[in-house]
C-alpha cells in the first residue's frame, strides 16, 4: 500500500476512534445529566420527575399501583431550633430509613422539604399498601436519628392512594394521598387510606364550603353556651361558646361537620373572628344584666398564629370586654404541630392578659418538654379519661396525676365530659378546680342558658327576663 494511502487510513482510524470516543463521552454526559435531573441532590433519592417516570408505564398499562405520601411530624421545629443544616442531616437519615423500610422493589422519592413518596410494587392490593405504610412508620419510630449531635425521636404521617380506585393518573393519586395524609396528621392517626366519602376537596364538600360562606352572611351560624362550675360547690364560673350551624336542609350541625373544610381556607379566620365577637357580645349583654362570668372560646390550630392577636384585640375593643375574662382554648395537638409559632402566639396573648387553656389534655400525648415554660393558665383534661373515671382505676390514676401536675405548675385544672354525680364527687375529692358536662347542662342557646342560671338563683328574675 502506498505511503500516502497508509497515512490516510491511519488518519481515518484516528478520526473514527475520536468520533466514537466523543460519542461515548457525550452519551455518558447525557446519562449523567439525566441521572442528575431525576435525583434529589440532598438525599440521593429519586425526585418528582423520577416518580413520574416510574409510575407512567404502570398507569398506562392499567397495572394497579399504590402511592404512599409521607410527611414528618414537627420537622419545622428542627429547622427552627437547630438550623437548616441539622434539618438536612436528618433528612438524609430519614431517606436511608425509608429505603430500608421499602426494600428493593419499591420506588422511594423525595418530593421536597420533609415530604417523601413511595411507589409500591405493582400490582398491589390495599392490604399490601397498608403493610408497607406500617413498615415505613416502624422504620421511623425505631430509627436512631440525630442532628447537630442531638438524638431526635421522629414520627410521620402517611396518606395512601391506589389506582385505579383512587385515580388513573399520578396527579390524582398524589392529590388523594395528600388529602389522606393531611387527615392522618390532623387526627394523629399515623397511617390513613384515601376515602372519597371524607375528602374535603370533593364536589360535595366544596358545595358545603360555599354554603358555609353564605351561612355567615345569612345568619345561619349560632353559638350555644355550656356552663363551667367550680369543683367545690358547683358555683358558676363561666361559659364555653360552642359553634353550631343551622343548616336549612341538614339541621343543626356541630363544628366537626364543617370546620375541617374551613381550616383548609382563609374562611377559618373569618369564622374565628365571628365566634369571638359574637361570644363576647353575648357575655357583655349578660354582664350588663348582672351575670358576671368568664367566656371561653375554642381556637382552631390553623388560627394559632400571630394574626390571632389582632382578631382578639378587635373583639375586646368592640365589646369592651376585659382580657382577663376571656379564655382561649387551644388543643394539645395544635401546640405540638408548630411549637415555635404556637409558643410565640400564646406568649403574646398572655402579655395582653388573655388566659389560654390547653384543651383535650392527654389525648395528644404532649410531652412535658412541650408543657414546660408554656404560658398557659389552664389544663382541660380530655373527656376520655373522665367518662369512666369511677370504673377505671387506670383513669383515676391518670386524672389524679394530671390534677397534681397542673397544680404544681400553678395551673387551673378543668374536667370536661362530667355526666354523673359520682364522677363529680370523685373529681372534687381529687381537687379538680372546674367541671363541665351534661351533669350540669348541655350546650344551650343564650336564652336557655340564662334560664338555667335563673333556675339556680344566680341572677334575679327581673334581670333574667330581659334575656335576648
Same domain? 74 vs 133: yes
Distance of alpha carbon 320 from alpha carbon 394, whole angstroms: 45
**Angle in degrees, 0-180, between the axes of helices 307-319 and 339-352, rounded to the nearest 10:** 20
* Domain closes at, from 148, 174, 196: 196
Residue 355: name the closest of 379, 371, 333, 339 by CA. 379
In a domain, 23, yes or no: no
In a domain, 31, yes or no: no
pLDDT digits (tens, 9 = 90+) for 287-343: 998 898 999 999 987 788 888 999 999 999 999 999 999 999 988 767 766 667 788
pLDDT digits (tens, 9 = 90+) for 181-239: 887 887 677 888 888 766 655 556 667 777 888 888 888 999 999 999 998 878 899 99
Same domain? 115 vs 219: no
Residue 2 has pLDDT above 70, yes or no: no
**What CATH number did the domain enclosing 289 receive?**
3.20.20.450
**Inter-CA distances, 32 with 26, 29, 44, 151, Å:** 10, 5, 13, 36
In a domain, 165, yes or no: yes
In a domain, 404, yes or no: yes
Same domain? 210 vs 319: yes
Q: What is the pLDDT of residue 377?
A: 93
For all residues of the chain together, what is the average pLDDT?
Answer: 83
Same domain? 68 vs 158: yes
In a domain, 97, yes or no: yes
Q: Exposed, middle or buried by CB within 10 Å (0-12, 13-18, 19+), for 283?
A: buried
Same domain? 122 vs 265: no
In a domain, 8, yes or no: no
Same domain? 77 vs 212: no
Same domain? 188 vs 221: no
Q: What is the pTM of this model?
A: 0.61
Under 8 Å between Cβ of 148 and 38: no
Total number of domains constituting the chain: 2
Under 8 Å between Cβ of 180 and 159: yes
Q: What is the pLDDT of residue 198?
A: 60
Q: Exposed, middle or buried by CB within 10 Å (0-12, 13-18, 19+), for 175?
A: middle
Q: Which residue has the higher pLDDT, 154 or 467?
A: 154
In a domain, 260, yes or no: yes
**What CATH number did the domain enclosing 167 receive?**
3.30.70.270
Same domain? 221 vs 168: no
Range of the domain at 58: 48-196
In a domain, 16, yes or no: no
pLDDT digits (tens, 9 = 90+) for 391-444: 889 999 999 999 998 999 899 999 999 999 999 999 999 999 999 999 999 999
* Domain closes at, from 196, 225, 251: 196
Q: What is the pLDDT of residue 160?
A: 93
Q: What is the mean pLDDT of residues 76-88?
A: 80
Which secondary structure element, helix H or strand E, spans residue 339, and what is its range? helix 339-352
Residue 389 has pLDDT above 50, yes or no: yes
Q: What is the DSSP string of 365-426?
A: ---HHHHTT----EEEE-GGGTTTTTT-HHHHHHHHHHHHHHHHTT-EEEEE---SHHHHHH
Q: What share of the chain is helix, strand, coil (3-state, %, to 5)?
A: 50, 20, 30
Same domain? 399 vs 268: yes
* Domain closes at, from 170, 196, 222: 196
Residue 70: name the closest of 151, 134, 128, 164 by CA. 134
pLDDT digits (tens, 9 = 90+) for 233-292: 788 999 999 999 998 888 888 888 788 777 767 788 889 999 999 999 999 999 998 898
Q: What is the pLDDT of residue 145?
A: 85
Amino acid at each position: 500500500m502506498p505511503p500516502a494511502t497508509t497515512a490516510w487510513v491511519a488518519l481515518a482510524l484516528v478520526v473514527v476512534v475520536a468520533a466514537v470516543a466523543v460519542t461515548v463521552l457525550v452519551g455518558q454526559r447525557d446519562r449523567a445529566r439525566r441521572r442528575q435531573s431525576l435525583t434529589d441532590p440532598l438525599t440521593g433519592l429519586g425526585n418528582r420527575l423520577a416518580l413520574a417516570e416510574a409510575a407512567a408505564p404502570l398507569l398506562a398499562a392499567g397495572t394497579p399501583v399504590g402511592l404512599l405520601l409521607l410527611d414528618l411530624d414537627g420537622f419545622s421545629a428542627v429547622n427552627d431550633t437547630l438550623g437548616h443544616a441539622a434539618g438536612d442531616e436528618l433528612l438524609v437519615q430519614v431517606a436511608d430509613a425509608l429505603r430500608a423500610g421499602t426494600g428493593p422493589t419499591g420506588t422511594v422519592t423525595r418530593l421536597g422539604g420533609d415530604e417523601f413518596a413511595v411507589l409500591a410494587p405493582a400490582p398491589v392490593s390495599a392490604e399490601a399498601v397498608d403493610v408497607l405504610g406500617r413498615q415505613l412508620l416502624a422504620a421511623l419510630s425505631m430509627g436512631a436519628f440525630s442532628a447537630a449531635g442531638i438524638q431526635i425521636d421522629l414520627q410521620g404521617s402517611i396518606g395512601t392512594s391506589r389506582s385505579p380506585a383512587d385515580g388513573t393518573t399520578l396527579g390524582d393519586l398524589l392529590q388523594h394521598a395528600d388529602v389522606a395524609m393531611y387527615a392522618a396528621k390532623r387526627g394523629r392517626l399515623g397511617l390513613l387510606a384515601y376515602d372519597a366519602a371524607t375528602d374535603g376537596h370533593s364536589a360535595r364538600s366544596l358545595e358545603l364550603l360555599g354554603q358555609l360562606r353564605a351561612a355567615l352572611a345569612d345568619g345561619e351560624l349560632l353559638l350555644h353556651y355550656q356552663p363551667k362550675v367550680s369543683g367545690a360547690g358547683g358555683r358558676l364560673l363561666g361559659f364555653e361558646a360552642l359553634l353550631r350551624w343551622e343548616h336549612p336542609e341538614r339541621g343543626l350541625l356541630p363544628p366537626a361537620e364543617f370546620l375541617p373544610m374551613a381550616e383548609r381556607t382563609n374562611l377559618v379566620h373569618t369564622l374565628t373572628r365571628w365566634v369571638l365577637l359574637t361570644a363576647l357580645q353575648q357575655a357583655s349583654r349578660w354582664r350588663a344584666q348582672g351575670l358576671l362570668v368568664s367566656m371561653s372560646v375554642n381556637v382552631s390550630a390553623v388560627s394559632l398564629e400571630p394574626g390571632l392577636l389582632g382578631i382578639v384585640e378587635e373583639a375586646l375593643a368592640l365589646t369592651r370586654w376585659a382580657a382577663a375574662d376571656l379564655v382561649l382554648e387551644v388543643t394539645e395537638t395544635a401546640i405540638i404541630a408548630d411549637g415555635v409559632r404556637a409558643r410565640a402566639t400564646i406568649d403574646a396573648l398572655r402579655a395582653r392578659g388573655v388566659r389560654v387553656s390547653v384543651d383535650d389534655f392527654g389525648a395528644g400525648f404532649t410531652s412535658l418538654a412541650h408543657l414546660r415554660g408554656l404560658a398557659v393558665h389552664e389544663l382541660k383534661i380530655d373527656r376520655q379519661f373522665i367518662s369512666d373515671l369511677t370504673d377505671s382505676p387506670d383513669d383515676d390514676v391518670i386524672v389524679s396525676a394530671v390534677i397534681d401536675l397542673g397544680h404544681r405548675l400553678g395551673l387551673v385544672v378543668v374536667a370536661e365530659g362530667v355526666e354523673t354525680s359520682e364522677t363529680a364527687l370523685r373529681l372534687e375529692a381529687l381537687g379538680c378546680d372546674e367541671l363541665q358536662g351534661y351533669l350540669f347542662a348541655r350546650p344551650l342557646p343564650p336564652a336557655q342558658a340564662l334560664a338555667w342560671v335563673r333556675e339556680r338563683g344566680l341572677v334575679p328574675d327581673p334581670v333574667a327576663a330581659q334575656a335576648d
